[in-house]
Structure 1
């Protein structure tokens, strides 16, 4: 990101504030709801994915630790806020597709990877617009969704909606967000190991200013978490879906037509 303008840096910082807010507010979506904006600012997924990965590792572990620390048992489900048994079951299904996805990310050209990301986000945005989020109603479909979610997570860190379509039906409400955080932590650790192994630039210098940006959004999101879960406003997700669909359409046009 050395050759970017000041306006681009400001926009990237604001997008990471948004990313932190979404991640802590919803428990997912920090990548899927920020990558389209980031790729329009600077079209290179491998610049942003290491940064998003580190942010997720930091804030997911902090949130789980805070919610399970001694002396904070009020309203906490028995056994803690993470369902480790269920986490192990879905990881067993997702691990191989996850590794295949990581390999695909490393080998595919940036332009192709960007088109894939924008296409996936466009599909997600339509589900928000139509107020028909992905649902799973059978064990076989659960497995398909988890495998697809694992693969997409391996390629671009945006497989959360498919994974949540399964997890939300099998986890207690009080354990959903933190169990997802634990899952993201494990999946992102695998991706980070792959980045380091193949020598991907982790953009360490940019963590000094983007981590505080994400922290601001994270704090705001923590405060909004309870209200967002209770409200579950369809209008919010429809507006969000419309914005994402527009951004994805522009991104696809740039990737396919311009280039």
Structure 2
């Protein structure tokens, strides 16, 4: 199959990210040579966090292509939050799609969401990360890949500006980070949601659209929709109409530069703290 430009771009992005988490240093040496090679049953494992949506299905397909070419195993972990009617079926169908793509192991975990003072969205996010970390540790995965795109990065910057201030708000989401001893990476921050949708079309993959995203709603979303959905559906398009240019790319690129500033400042503060303690 001939790869489209967006598929080639995604393959390059995933390969670069796996290099950043040092997968290249642990792959079998024969995969550096030409020819067909079978992936060993004990090869390094990368997990893709998959919801069944367009972004994560595109990431699952591309990650399997890249991992196989590098001599690594590629699996998936699906977290069912149990917050929507039919969520169990959505999780099951996502798992079936991942298996059909050739991913393995495919892990389905049920999260317990307990909303306290932080709100339902934050509680669901915490529960999701708890399950992803547990899956990574139990399977021995070297990394869990998250399917956040350039659009998600722009939304995160706006949400950060609405909720907080300073360089942390501007820096958005890091490409690679560690949580509870598990390594997470976001390979698709340079791809748009339109490109992940196109990759699904290129590969003939079906995907699930979360109704809480509000894609089917005409006009502004009610306030009871998640903040991210309202930023995506209402705020970003309004800013883009006002500015007259691609503000999604602008916010995402600004976040990349702010992230570099933040990482430098964090490094320097750690050095100063170390000197002060000494």
TM-score, with normalisation over the residues of structure 2? 0.25
Higher RCO (C-alpha 8 Å, min separation 6): 1
Higher helix share: 1
Higher strand share: 2
